[in-house]
Structure 1
Amino acid sequence: MKILICDDEYTNLEILKKYITEYTAAHCIKADIYATASSKDVFESSTSYDLAFLDIQMPDIDGISVAKELKNRNQKIVIFFVTAFDEYQDEAMDLHAFRFFEKPFDAERLYASLDKALQYIDETYIDLFLYNSGEDKKILVDDIMYIRRENRKIILHTKDGNEYITRRNLNEWMEELPNTFFYLVHKSFLVNLHYITKNSYSIIVLDNTIQIPVASRKQVDFHKYWFQYLKRR
């Protein structure tokens, strides 16, 4: 998950980064957190984010303009605005802002909002394009049950029983798919946790039928992640 924090006040920037770092660590979420005081740098880059905290009033480019640009890159992005100015809220609501925060930050409200944001991300459908037999096919991320490596092939399995040989390797799929509910349980298996119907220490079962091994060196970390996932459901 890629998270952006953009605030021209360094003290607030560091406090917010600290809170979010602690939250993602406690929930076993792998997150790349980019904190910057320069809205211009964010606006001029091409990076796409899953979640963003934006100060509305900034000297170079205001947070509303940055949010519009980030929405162009990823329509599913969750945006939090940091502001004490009511005059901006109508325009911010047009961008479907997830929450507003005033300074100084209330840690408990922040954590509760992050819980809601992760639930939203988990439930969001994202369109992907797969390469299969010389054609592109559009599917929904939530339809993906698991992805497996077989020799040099990477095969994607969907809930309706279809299989697609993809151009991406497993590392690329890990970057592409939301790590709030996809987990690499084995060097050859990336699974969608939504489909797990049985979970023992070394084996998971998807949709009551498909058995997938959990690598021994991943078992402890995966089960911590699994329990955190269950708490969010």
Structure 2
Amino acid sequence: MKIAVVDDSIEDAQRIVQYLEQFQAEHNQTFQTKVFYASFDFLEEYRGDYDVVFLDIEMPGSNGLEVAHEIRSRDASVGILFVTSMAQYAINGYEVNAIDFMVKPVKYYSFSMKLEKAIRFLKSRNQDILLRNKEEILRLPASDILYIEKERDNLVFHTRQEAFAERGSIKTVKSKLVSLPFAESASGCLINLAYVRKIGKDTVTIEPGIELPLSRRLKRQFSQEYISYMGGGF
């Protein structure tokens, strides 16, 4: 896995590097890590070849949010993890589909939870599912799916751009997605946990502002799966 750390603070950047080394030793992972102390240097070199970017929000010149927008204009799939001293800034990370954020000074437990979440994201990004109907056969990245709903005899796979339908059952598609972050919020509705923004009384709000049903029967299980996916929260 190739990782970039972008932070104008030497102390904060080196803390992330030390945590990455500790995580490697504990989880038998291998990382290629490069540190950038200026956002300009990072953007000048960026070629879309990093898997994860740890990105400071408050930097001189282009701040982290501006850098993230530039990254997204070049690369839709890289995982972005914001690092910030002010958590309220990180809410804007939803605009660039950031995986999560960490508040400085970052603690190792929080770091490891967020990094595990990023690794799960990368696994889903690299897994495709095959959809078939009368007109076409489509290969669709699982990470592009916002939610799946049952409509009569069809399953409808909703992405940001469009929806695709094929005949099938929720039970069958759940077996295809067993290792990916999808959870059932109501009968006939599977949601990609990466896009969940709010769990309400009887609805789940996902990016970009879509409300989906949440049944009383499944609320506790769905909430537990989401908390687990988020690494226990911020």
Question: TM-score normalized by structure 1?
Answer: 0.51
Residue 19 of structure 1 corresponds to which residue in structure 2? Answer: 19
CA distance in 2, matches of 1:31, 1:86: 27
Write the mapping of 1:1-233 to structure 2, written as runs, cut at 5 A.
1-48=1-48, 49-125=50-126
Displacement of 1:140: 6.9
CA contact (8 A) 1:50 1:78 kept: yes
SS at match of 2:5: strand
Residue 133 of structure 1 corresponds to which residue in structure 2? Answer: none
Displacement of 1:89: 2.9
SS at match of 1:80: strand
What do you get for the CA RMSD once the two structures are aligned?
Answer: 2.4
Please, which runs of 5 or more residues in structure 1 have no aligned partner? 128-137, 143-193, 195-233
Sort the Cα spacing of 1:94 and 1:31 in 2 relative to 1 into closer, same or farther, 3 A.
same
Displacement of 1:8: 0.6
Sort the Cα spacing of 1:124 and 1:108 in 2 relative to 1 into closer, same or farther, 3 A.
same
The number of residues matched between the two structures is: 133
Displacement of 1:88: 2.4
CA distance in 1, matches of 2:70, 2:14: 24
Amino acid at match of 1:103: K
Sort the Cα spacing of 1:116 and 1:86 in 2 relative to 1 into closer, same or farther, 3 A.
closer
Question: TM-score normalized by structure 2?
Answer: 0.51
CA distance in 1, matches of 2:108, 2:51: 21
Amino acid at match of 1:93: Y
CA contact (8 A) 1:80 1:99 kept: yes
CA distance in 1, matches of 2:140, 2:118: 20
CA contact (8 A) 1:50 1:74 kept: no
SS at match of 1:30: coil
CA distance in 2, matches of 1:82, 1:93: 14
Please, which runs of 5 or more residues in structure 2 have no aligned partner? 129-137, 143-178, 180-234
Q: After the TM superposition, which of the residue ranges 116-125 and 9-18 deviates more from structure 2?
A: 116-125
Displacement of 1:71: 2.0
Sort the Cα spacing of 1:46 and 1:36 in 2 relative to 1 into closer, same or farther, 3 A.
closer
Displacement of 1:45: 1.7
